[in-house]
Structure 1
């Protein structure tokens, strides 16, 4: 089953690729590594649900936001690659969580993205990862995640 077929079987649709709002590109090639710029849980209407872990967002809500962020990352990857089956491996994720200083469950939040990548890509979706807290994120969103992918020719 291709990753696109897997998405369909899960009832998931890749969103439109977000257009950068500043001076950067959504992805950048370095040999057969594809670097994906940080994405957030942008909804189809272009909005984000503001939230801060430890204040007004739960781990469960932020897990779903990280899952949506994973869909946004896959949308960017598909725009760069044409088909997601060219992803040989997700090498690394950097997951940033908008959190209060005493919040300590950052990995539980970023699991939303990690779990999605493994569901859609199988073993190719397993990756190294960092999950860290931030004092703020753009649009007051709960998570932002960037990725490095190894791509087949």
Structure 2
């Protein structure tokens, strides 16, 4: 898949599951920028993490979301379309480029799914995220019958 090898899906870090399927919809819990070896990228965007690096972290989160989709569905061809993405950026108070950061995930979804990867989205800033991760992203996906 575009030269991207999907890692095993990251396990939940608290009392929740990575996804819930309800009918023809798949709801994906928030994922962070976790490397396949378990390393988490941390820091504050706009302080010790710049937009370019945070974009790469958001792309990594997208890869982790794809890994959860594949585990849940067995095959990414079951994805009819990405419906909604919520991107959260661990940013300093005056940071204004949240959309450019979350584009890392959005661009990946469009690369993977083409037109079906285009989605509704929110990209917002937070004063903190779990474990001081740089970004967290969740998604809602429509499935083929």
Structure 1 moving runs of 4+ over 3 Å:
none
* Alpha-carbon separation, structure 1, partners of 2:10 and 2:116: 24
> Which secondary structure does the structure 2 equivalent of 1:76 belong to?
helix
* Alignment-derived partner of residue 122 in structure 1: 114
TM-score (norm 1): 0.92
1:85 equivalenced with 2:77 (yes/no) = yes
**Root mean square deviation, CA, Å:** 0.8
1:70 maps to 2:70: no
User: What secondary structure sits across from 1:23 in the alignment?
Assistant: coil
SS at match of 2:57: helix
Distance 1:110 1:143 in 2: 8
Question: How big is the shift at 1:138?
Answer: 1.2
* Matched residues, number: 145
Residues in 2 aligned to 1:20 and 1:69: alpha-carbon distance in whole angstroms: 14
Greater mean deviation of Cα atoms: 126-135 or 12-21? 12-21
Which of residues 115, 126, 146 is equivalent to 2:138?
Answer: 146
Out of 11-20 and 104-113, give the one that drifted further: 11-20
Match of 1:26 in 2: 18
The corresponding residue for 1:44 is 36
The alignment's TM-score, normalised by the length of structure 2, stands at 0.97
Following the alignment from structure 2 to structure 1, what is the Cα–Cα distance between the partners of residues 117 and 127? 29
Query: Which segments of 5 or more consecutive residues in structure 1 lack a partner in the other structure?
Result: 1-6
Corresponding residue to 1:132 among 90, 105, 124: 124
